[in-house]
Amino acid sequence: MEKPITASPGSAQRNKTGTWRIENRPQFLQKNCIACRLCVLICPEGIVAGKEKNTFQTDYRYCKGCGLCAAVCPKKDIVMVPETSKENTES
Amino acid sequence: MFEHLLSPGHTACAGCGQSLAARLVIDAAGPNTIVVNNTGCLEVFSTTYPDSAWQVPFIHSLFENAAAVASGVEAALRQSGRIDDIRVIAQAGDGGTADIGFQALSGMWERGHDVLSVCYDNEAYMNTGVQRSGLTPLYTSTTTSPYGRVLPGNLRPKKNMVEIAVAHGIPYVATASVGFPLDLQRKVKKAISIRGPKFIHIHVPCPLGWRHEPSLTYQIARLAVETCLFPLIEYEEGVLTGVHTITAPKPVEDYLKLQGRFRHLFKPGNEGLVSEIQKIADQNRERYHLTKKVENGSH
Amino acid sequence: MKDFIEGSEAIARVVALCKPGVISAYPITPQTHIVEFLAEMVAEGKLKSQFVNVESEHSAASAVLGAVATGQRVFTASSSQGLILMSEVLFNAAGMRMPVVLVCVNRALSAPINIWNDHQDSMALRDSGVIQLYGESNQEVADLILQAYRLAEDPHILLPVMVCLDGYILSHGYEVVDIPEEDKVLGFLPDFNPPERLDPADPKSFGPLAGPEYYMEIRHDLHQALKRALALIPEVATQFAHIFGRNSGGLVEPYQLEGAEMAIVAAGSVCGTIKETIDTLRAKGKKVGLLRIITYRPFPEEEIIQNLLKVPMVAVLDRSISLGATGPIYCDIRAVFQGQKPSPKISGFIAGLGGRDITPDTIMEIFERLPGSQVSDQFIGLKDGD
């Protein structure tokens, strides 16, 4: 039986790149969010999602901790916190 | 699972401008798209066997032939009567566009294939270790054009791929930046609505190669535009119709000082080098009327 | 239907019968007539195909790779420098299991630049994973093209297939060729239906990066696919004979090997000259024969052993040279007999490079030299002697 030489769509999703984070993770305060969706647009992994104000969140299974979402949020409603912080909860 | 057509789980560096741009491009193009990719970071991090992050049909062949492979894909779609329903994108990095991939790209444009070519310009051969390319800006320190005691980094300015594309007489040519993600997506949507060859040249910061914090990708991309070093323009049928106006251009230092690849420019005595880079920005400003509105879309 | 036509035209007409959806080529002597005939057919509406005039051979092979990946049957052709330029893509196409069919109009390699016939170009691709078939006559070349599509597109094979013919001698030579009828072609060659293709309805990714933990198995699979072709090639040739009523193709063709004391091994049109010379010598009582190589890659080891084991002396005539070593066919044949008992004495001869004519005298000389000391890279026909 020959090995397949093509790959199925989106099969990369089984690679949980969240394990790359060793320093900081983004915390979505969900307080002053205006739902501008810049965080959704700018995340290189495409893992920030949300609908109305204060509902935006990332997917920590994939988040590499680059900090772009926090850097671009116009309301500073996303902050980078240490990975080992007690406030952190897995999504 | 995810609505994006480039899924997470790919192995791009944290903060990679190219992965961001690639996702914005394919999301804008939609699911009825076939992507043809040259060898480079994008192809390597998105299709490492046995997985793929692509949720559209995707093919990678070699380093220099995406445009030629895409020509064949397009011809096949034309033959089977599906060219009106399925879009073809040929994408490459700066090397795969301006250097090794240049011939195939020029041929595809000349023949008029209905393909959108996209250049992810991170201004060096990043996948192989940050070596200099034809799109590496003046005085950039790369691993094959390093700053040293006798040489100040790369000695040549960027090859003007936009003008070259326009000279081929193709219907749509545009620049874009990950610092302006909605503008990028608008341009992709516009491009794929036009029949014939299109070219979008996207400026993408590379935290590793440019030596900056991953969280600065967006800001640095915006500064490149705001200093007039990377103009955001559109050409339609050879006429400059779209210009992103910069009301108050920032000095190039604001952009350069955030990146380790330009660190040597701030050594005492290298002020002349910075002035030459400023001159390039000023020339762009003139040439593309970056600081004034264009009347009737002509210049 | 029989017609007295140029070899290139015969090829073009048979390719047209196979209805490739996308044809892409770059001109190089002596391949040009093939693609010109095809271009004319497209322009006249006789062949409904996309004809992509690319800017180099590298792009020609790339374009057909993209087209075949998108589910269209394809065709390209080249020679010499053009073949070497597209070789990167052909290696890649084999690895990607793309059933590209191409014609190589055999021509010498630069430098010096030379537009005449020898086999150095196609031989340079022997490691690539592309199947190589050598035709002796224009009829056989035309027939091999039909068989090439059948072979390449077989779901157990899915490999590029290259049909080789001698430049000028065959490509520009006029012979009577029987061009098959369309309905017979339809009976022999099913529609192209690849198991995987670029299609938004089933979005797969082709051409991944495979690290050390995966690459070797994939290359092993590729190697096995080529070896599977060794069984399929004779089957296809038999099917062909059944439908079209003549023998063409296969792995090897033995000629007058019964009781032979000396045999020549060779490929291509030179075998016509060799057969005539053998007839002359046999008439004089000399027990000589020929083993014609039709399929060079995959290498038909078993057929070669079977046919030559009992021949005491074998001369391999290479119209090519692996510089610094020996002729390529000689190298493979010599290796095959390692450890075989009995093993013929095998000598290697190089002739006909750069279009230097191989005549019956050349063949006679080889038969005269063969009983002498064993040689491995003896050039025949050099002007300044040995």
Which residue among C72, C74, C207 sits closest to B61, beta carbon to beta carbon? C207
C78 three-state secondary structure: strand
Q: Is the peptide bond before C260 cis (omega within 30 degrees of 0)?
A: no
Residue C268: give its domain's CATH number.
3.40.50.920
Please answer yes or no on whether B111 and C53 come within 8 Å at the CB atom. Answer: yes
- How many domains is chain C partitioned into structurally? 2
pLDDT at position B1, please? 42
C385: in domain: no
Structural domain span for residue B199: 17-297
A21: in domain: no
Q: Indicate whether C259 and C240 sit together in one domain.
A: no
pLDDT at position C385, please? 62
Q: Please count the residues of chain B.
A: 299
Residues 5-44 in A contacting C (C-alpha not used; CB under 8 Å): 5-9
At C340, the pLDDT band (50, 70, 90 cuts) reads: confident
- Burial annotation C205-220 (CB, 10 A radius, 16+ → b, else e): bbbbbbeeebeeebee
Determine the number of helices (DSSP H) and then strands (DSSP E) in chain C.
13, 16
Q: Indicate whether C189 and C228 sit together in one domain.
A: yes
At C291, the pLDDT band (50, 70, 90 cuts) reads: very high
Q: Indicate whether C179 and C213 sit together in one domain.
A: yes
Please answer yes or no on whether A72 and B17 come within 8 Å at the CB atom. Answer: no
Q: Indicate whether C355 and C235 sit together in one domain.
A: no
Which chains lie within 8 Å of chain C at 3 or more CB pairs, if any? A, B
B230: in domain: yes
Residue B32: give its domain's CATH number.
3.40.50.970
Q: Indicate whether C133 and C263 sit together in one domain.
A: no
- How many domains is chain A partitioned into structurally? 1
Q: What one-character DSSP code corresponds to residue B95? A: I
How confident is the model over C220-254, as pLDDT tens digits? Answer: 999 999 999 999 999 999 999 999 999 999 999 99
C384: in domain: no
Q: From CA C64, how far away is CA C124, in angstroms rounded?
A: 21
Structural domain span for residue A46: 36-84
Q: Which residues of chain B make contact with C55, given a CB cutoff of 8 A?
A: 103-104, 106-107, 110
> Residue C124 class from Cβ within 10 Å (0-12 exposed, 13-18 middle, 19+ buried)?
middle
How confident is the model over C8-46, as pLDDT tens digits? Answer: 999 999 999 999 999 999 999 999 999 999 999 999 999
pLDDT at position B299, please? 42
A62: in domain: yes
B5: in domain: no
- How many domains is chain B partitioned into structurally? 1
- Pairs across B and C, CB distance < 8 A: 160
pLDDT at position C342, please? 84
Q: Residue ranges of chain B with pLDDT lower than 70?
A: 1-2, 293-299
Q: Indicate whether C140 and C237 sit together in one domain.
A: yes
State the smallest CA–CA distance between residue A71 and chain B in angstroms. Answer: 6
> Residue C48 class from Cβ within 10 Å (0-12 exposed, 13-18 middle, 19+ buried)?
exposed
Q: Indicate whether C229 and C262 sit together in one domain.
A: no
Q: Is the peptide bond before B251 cis (omega within 30 degrees of 0)?
A: no
Q: Which residues of chain B make contact with C50, given a CB cutoff of 8 A?
A: 75-76, 78-79
At A84, the pLDDT band (50, 70, 90 cuts) reads: confident
B276 touches B229 (CB < 8 A): no
Which residue among A2, A3, A6 sits closest to C206, beta carbon to beta carbon? A6
At A22, the pLDDT band (50, 70, 90 cuts) reads: confident
B120: in domain: yes
Q: Which residues of chain C make contact with B49, given a CB cutoff of 8 A?
A: 208-211, 214
B60 and chain C in contact, CB less than 8 A: yes
Q: Indicate whether C272 and C324 sit together in one domain.
A: yes
Q: Indicate whether C148 and C225 sit together in one domain.
A: yes
Provide, rounded to the nearest whole percent, the portion of chain C with pLDDT above 70. Answer: 99
Structural domain span for residue C158: 2-244
Interface residues of chain C, partner chain A, Cβ below 8 Å = 95-97, 196, 203-206, 208, 214, 217-218, 221, 224-225
pLDDT at position A91, please? 44
Please answer yes or no on whether C221 and A7 come within 8 Å at the CB atom. Answer: no
pLDDT at position B293, please? 62
Q: Which residues of chain C make contact with B69, given a CB cutoff of 8 A?
A: 62-63, 65-66, 69
B6: in domain: no
β-pair type (C74-78, C22-25): parallel
How confident is the model over C139-181, as pLDDT tens digits? Answer: 999 999 999 999 999 999 999 999 999 999 999 999 999 999 9
State the smallest CA–CA distance between residue C204 and chain B in angstroms. Answer: 5
Q: From CA A51, how far away is CA C309, in angstroms rounded?
A: 78
How confident is the model over C302-326, as pLDDT tens digits? Answer: 999 999 999 999 999 999 999 999 9
C386: in domain: no
Asked whether the predicted pLDDT for residue A86 surpasses 70, the reply is no
Residue A40: give its domain's CATH number.
3.30.70
How confident is the model over C127-147, as pLDDT tens digits? Answer: 999 999 999 999 999 999 999
Which chains lie within 8 Å of chain A at 3 or more CB pairs, if any? B, C
